[in-house]
Amino acid sequence: MKTFHCDNCRNLVFFENIECTKCGSKLAYLPDRSAMAAIQPSKDGVWEPLESAQGQIKYRLCANYETQNICNWAIADSDRNSLCRSCRLTRTIPDLTQAGHGQAWYKMEVAKRRLVYGLIALGLPIESRLENPGKGLAFDFLCDAGNGAAPTILTGHSQGLITINLAEADDVERERRRVAMHEPYRTLLGHFRHESGHYYWDRLIKDTTHLDQCRALFGDERQDYAAALKKHYDDGPTPKWNERYISEYASSHPWEDWAETWAHYLHIRDAMETAAECGLVLKPENSAHAAFKPMTMDEMHPAKAFDKVIGRWFALAQVINNFNRGLGLHDPYPFVLTPTVVDKLRFVHTLVSAQPVRHKRPAAKILDKFLTRRRQSFPPLSEASADR
C-alpha cells in the first residue's frame, strides 16, 4: 500500500486514520485519487481537500463515516451515492443492537477497504450488484445463531456473494480457529483476499480460454467440491502437500488452491508496494548481491516483471519475518514458495497483468432497494464454495 501523509503538516498517517494525530486535521481517503487528504468544510455536508482548496472537486463523507464512524472514505460531491465505493459492496451488516457487533463490523470494513484498495490498484473489475446484477460483488457479514451453538454461518463465496462469519472479527475466536485448524496464518484481510479469489475465478477464468491452463496448474475443479472438503477435514491434507501447495487448505480442492494462491498474490503485491513506498532498500549483510529496491505497483504490473517480483519478494519476506521475530511476534509470512507454487503465482500474475485498468463510475443509485433485496437470489453456500 502507498504511504500517506497529512496534507497540512506532512505527518505520516495510516490508511485507516480519520484525524491527523499531530495537527488534528480531519482526514478522508479519496478513492478516486488513491490519496489520503486533509479536508476542510466547504458548505453544508460538503468538504474540500486542503491541498486543492482552490480546486473544483468537492467531496461528501461516506454515510458510514458521518453516521456510523466505521469508514473514512469520501465520495465526489457529484456522485449521487451516499455510501463510498467500498461500503456500497456490503449488502448485509450485523445487528448493531447486539453487544460487540459495532466493533466487529468496523473491523470487517477496515479489512474490506484494504482489499478494495488492492483490487483497484491492480485494475481489476470491481462492480457492485447494483452496477452489474449478474456478475457484481456483494458482502454479507453474518453472525452465528444462538450462544454456544455450532457455527451456522460459513465464510465463503457463491456467485459474487461473499459471506464472512462475524466471529472472524473476534481476535480470540479467530486465533482459536487458526490453532484448531493447524493454520500458520489466519486474518480477516486474508479471508477477504481468499474469498475474492473465488469471485475472480468466475470473472477471469470460468468460460475463458485460460481454463485449460488453470486446470493444468491447479487441477480439475469439476471434482466433487463437498466430497473433497469433507475428505480434507476427515483425513487431513494431501501427503507432501507442501511440495505443491501454498498451504494445507490449498490441497483440499483446485478451487481452494486457486483462492489461496490468489490471496498470496495480493499479499505480495501489497507488501512489496508498502516497502517501495517506504523507501526500503534491501541488502542483507555479507550478501554478495547488490542492494535492490522493492518495486512499486507500476513496476510490478507488466507480465514480464514476475521473476523480478518473486525474487525480491523472497528477500523482503525474509526481512519482515526477521523484524517480527525481533519483536517477539509470529512470522507475518510463514510460508515456503516452492517452484510449483511460484508457477501458480506466475499464472495469477499473467492474468492480472492482462486486465485493462477500469475507471467505470457507478450507476445512479438504487441502493436502498438493493440493500433490502432478499437473499434468495443466491444459492446456499454448501452448494458453492463454503470455506471455513
Q: Tell me which of 1, 3, 5, 11 binds Zn ion, using CB under 5 A.
A: 11
For Zn ion, the closer of residues 23 and 357 by Cβ is 23
Q: How far apart are CA 184 and CA 377, in angstroms?
A: 35
Q: Residue 52: name the closest of 32, 22, 81, 79 by CA.
A: 32
* Cell matching residue 257: 488452491
For Zn ion, the closer of residues 141 and 306 by Cβ is 141
Backbone angles phi, psi at 381, to 5 degrees: -65, -25
Q: Which stretch binds Zn ion (CB under 5 A): 58-66, 140-148, 219-227, 343-351?
A: 58-66
For Zn ion, the closer of residues 199 and 306 by Cβ is 199
Query: Residue 38: helix, strand or coil by DSSP?
Result: strand
Cα dihedral across residues 46, 50, 53, 59: positive or negative: negative
64 binds Zn ion (CB under 5 A): yes
For Zn ion, the closer of residues 247 and 272 by Cβ is 247
Q: How far apart are CA 162 and CA 174, in angstroms?
A: 18
Q: How far apart are CA 67 and CA 59, in angstroms?
A: 16
- How many residues form the binding site for Zn ion (CB under 5 A)? 17
9 binds Zn ion (CB under 5 A): yes
Q: Tell me which of 37, 62, 205, 367 binds Zn ion, using CB under 5 A.
A: 62
For Zn ion, the closer of residues 221 and 256 by Cβ is 256
How far apart are CB 5 and Zn ion at their closest, in Å?
A: 8
Residues 236-275 that bind Zn ion (CB under 5 A): 256, 259
23 binds Zn ion (CB under 5 A): yes
For Zn ion, the closer of residues 155 and 351 by Cβ is 155
354 binds Zn ion (CB under 5 A): no
Q: Tell me which of 168, 221, 273, 387 binds Zn ion, using CB under 5 A.
A: 387
CA-to-CA separations, 13 to 22, 75, 108, in angstroms, rounded:
9, 20, 20
Q: Residue 273: name the closest of 255, 298, 308 by CA.
A: 298
Q: Tell me which of 17, 25, 251, 252 binds Zn ion, using CB under 5 A.
A: 25
Q: How far apart are CA 281 and CA 279, in angstroms?
A: 6
| Residue 84: partners with Cβ closer than 8 Å, 6 or more residues away | 31, 62, 64, 65, 71, 73, 74, 75
Residues 80-99 that bind Zn ion (CB under 5 A): 84, 87
Q: Are 320 and 271 in contact (CB under 8 A)?
A: yes
How far apart are CB 252 and Zn ion at their closest, in Å?
A: 9
Backbone angles phi, psi at 157, to 5 degrees: -130, 140
How far apart are CB 362 and Zn ion at their closest, in Å?
A: 13
How far apart are CB 385 and Zn ion at their closest, in Å?
A: 5
For Zn ion, the closer of residues 184 and 311 by Cβ is 184
Q: Which stretch binds Zn ion (CB under 5 A): 25-33, 128-136, 177-185, 237-245?
A: 25-33
154 binds Zn ion (CB under 5 A): no
For Zn ion, the closer of residues 79 and 387 by Cβ is 387
| Residue 37: partners with Cβ closer than 8 Å, 6 or more residues away | 7, 27, 28, 29, 30, 49, 50, 51, 74
381 binds Zn ion (CB under 5 A): no
For Zn ion, the closer of residues 4 and 73 by Cβ is 73
155 binds Zn ion (CB under 5 A): no
8 binds Zn ion (CB under 5 A): yes
* Cell matching residue 363: 450507476
Q: What's the distance, CA 127 to chain centroid?
A: 15
| Residue 43: partners with Cβ closer than 8 Å, 6 or more residues away | none
Q: How far apart are CA 2 and CA 271, in angstroms?
A: 10
How far apart are CB 157 and Zn ion at their closest, in Å?
A: 7
Q: Tell me which of 4, 6, 129, 140 binds Zn ion, using CB under 5 A.
A: 6
How far apart are CB 20 and Zn ion at their closest, in Å?
A: 3
Which positions touch Zn ion (CB under 5 A)? 6, 8-9, 11, 20, 22-23, 25, 62, 64, 71, 73, 84, 87, 256, 259, 387
